[in-house]
Structure 1
């Protein structure tokens, strides 16, 4: 049995579905169900005896201690995090609470549980912490991609809180011997993505006839990773990663934000043309850049490929086509997730 935290969010939910599609090993799924947690994502495994969902906070020591004691997982995979840069700028407190204090409490619960296992069980146990490339800061156009040896230079409240959580995980390994693994991934995209992030926001705004907001000049560069590829990387690191090590996970797909939006527009022109015959690109609108916006992220995933034999299965072209098609085919999921609270957030961030 494994314990997954944040398993109703975008990446965590995809991981739970991917895990149960390829394994009979049960999953205990702990999620607080904040605005980005969505049980509709897990509808296909409702009633599946291998999936046990518990609503709760990773910072609730009493709850986490009880879950660990009752279910005795062989691994904990932590996806639980506040993860949106824009939200961290408007309200950093929640990010400190979850990504720093929450991780501290989770580590302490796991350490207590692990300390009481037999020597054989201790040796087999793993705590896998899922983090982000944003902890490394920003890159110039000529800089090499982020390697695991890059120093941390976080530039937003979100990335600073994730950097802190990474440091806590490292410290709990070196001080207490907790067998940890850390992955730092690039920008994920794919099915079940909450529509505050760039790709789902652009798809849904385009279909609704709204403007397609792009920060600044749109030349910010990100490395894009299809979420199912990220799931396969996490499985591989859990299976064969070396305790105490960090593994960068990337898609080898550097694209500017403008290129991403233009690609989505072209796919929608093909798959769901506008009734007036115009191109979706006509809806693009450039808005004021956000404070401290990092110019470029890029991941060097060579260590993961060399040492563990992993590489992504999807190109950006194949992954983005699958993503756009998924949003076209899943109107009910979209309707349920786009609540009044979500619309209020979009108005706050981009203007009504």
Structure 2
């Protein structure tokens, strides 16, 4: 297949490109990425062959010409502004990229007869859970941050293009991802890189917010199944069944790296901070045969070791050197 992967130089998008390059070498891979602070072509250095298109998903003429020139058959849409803190400080770019950008892609996909459109979303669109229960595909959307609201808006547009125009759309909603090549602003890579530099490890509130952790390679395996076997119009939740409090994660990193626990510093809580997320992934397991391979205790040690070994990568990322070289 000729596949367009938007945001394919970012954390999850580049993992998916690497996944396809290893397991589906017959596919032609086209990566569309704006290369913002979180997009890095170095993430694709191990990919033997792909075509890169530098641009914005909000650029209608670029999107349409890309689909036409390369005869794209399917779109896997990762491109998004995704950091909650940044959305709290400035929601405008989240609405533009996540909502308007998605609509631009959907409209072009409809016009060019795209065979499959996968909207890669997040469990955050469901809002916050109590101490028990799980999000299912039938859970109501109740986003609590500008980021999650923008993703919910994009999901609803994707659904509308299926219902109104018959576009073969699938929406995937995943729990928190972790893995290599993750920009050091999210919890796990931030704590690892800070600890390796003997910097403070800031933990929001009481540290007891709960997240379900999914290894990025397990996420990619699930999206690949949706691409090839997903039923038109269906939503698929993807979860790791690895619930941990934030403070558990931080203490695990501290213990593994052998740094002082005094580096942990509790700070004021994030505005609108959801207390707990947890995914019921039984639908994708039963209908598409997906199963997570990584146990969290195995995966987190592997990821910590990766950041130790790839110190030059994340130092370049934090310094912005890779972006200057790309320009």
How high is the TM-score relative to the length of structure 1?
0.89
Answer yes or no: is 1:247 the counterpart of 2:248. no
Aligned to 1:336: 316
CA distance in 1, matches of 2:134, 2:186: 23
Aligned to 2:281: 301
Match of 2:181 among 169, 192, 202: 192
Contact (CA 8 Å) 1:268, 1:280: kept in 2 or not?
A: no
Answer yes or no: is 1:212 the counterpart of 2:201. yes
CA positional deviation for 1:267 = 1.4
Aligned to 2:112: 113
Answer yes or no: is 1:129 the counterpart of 2:131. no
CA positional deviation for 1:340 = 6.0
Aligned to 1:287: 267
Long gaps (5+) in structure 1: 115-121, 270-278, 342-352
Match of 2:39 among 37, 42, 46: 37
Which of the two has higher C-alpha Rg?
1
CA positional deviation for 1:59 = 1.0
Aligned to 1:84: 83
Aligned to 1:12: 13
SS in 2 for 1:323: helix
Answer yes or no: is 1:166 the counterpart of 2:155. yes
Aligned to 1:274: none
CA positional deviation for 1:325 = 0.6
CA distance in 2, matches of 1:41, 1:80: 15
SS in 2 for 1:286: strand
Deviation digits for residues 84-120 of structure 1, max 9, x if unmatched? 0000000100000000111111111111101xxxxxx
Aligned to 2:23: 22
CA positional deviation for 1:280 = 3.0
How high is the TM-score relative to the length of structure 2?
0.96
CA distance in 1, matches of 2:284, 2:197: 40
CA positional deviation for 1:282 = 2.2
Aligned to 2:216: 227
CA positional deviation for 1:301 = 0.4
SS in 1 for 2:76: strand
SS in 2 for 1:2: strand
Structure 2 matches for 1:42-57, cutoff 5 A? Answer: 42-45=44-47, 48=48, 50-57=49-56
CA distance in 2, matches of 1:37, 1:314: 25
CA distance in 1, matches of 2:76, 2:148: 20
SS in 1 for 2:232: coil
CA distance in 1, matches of 2:155, 2:96: 15
CA distance in 2, matches of 1:96, 1:217: 30
Deviation digits for residues 177-211 of structure 1, max 9, x if unmatched? 00001100000000000000000000011111111
Answer yes or no: is 1:176 the counterpart of 2:165. yes
CA distance in 1, matches of 2:9, 2:252: 28
Contact (CA 8 Å) 1:81, 1:99: kept in 2 or not?
A: yes
CA distance in 2, matches of 1:333, 1:15: 19
Aligned to 2:300: 320
Output the aligned Cα RMSD: 1.3
Which moves more between the two structures, 10-19 or 331-340? 331-340
Aligned to 1:138: 128
Deviation digits for residues 33-87 of structure 1, max 9, x if unmatched? 0111011111222xx3x30011101111111111111111221100000000000
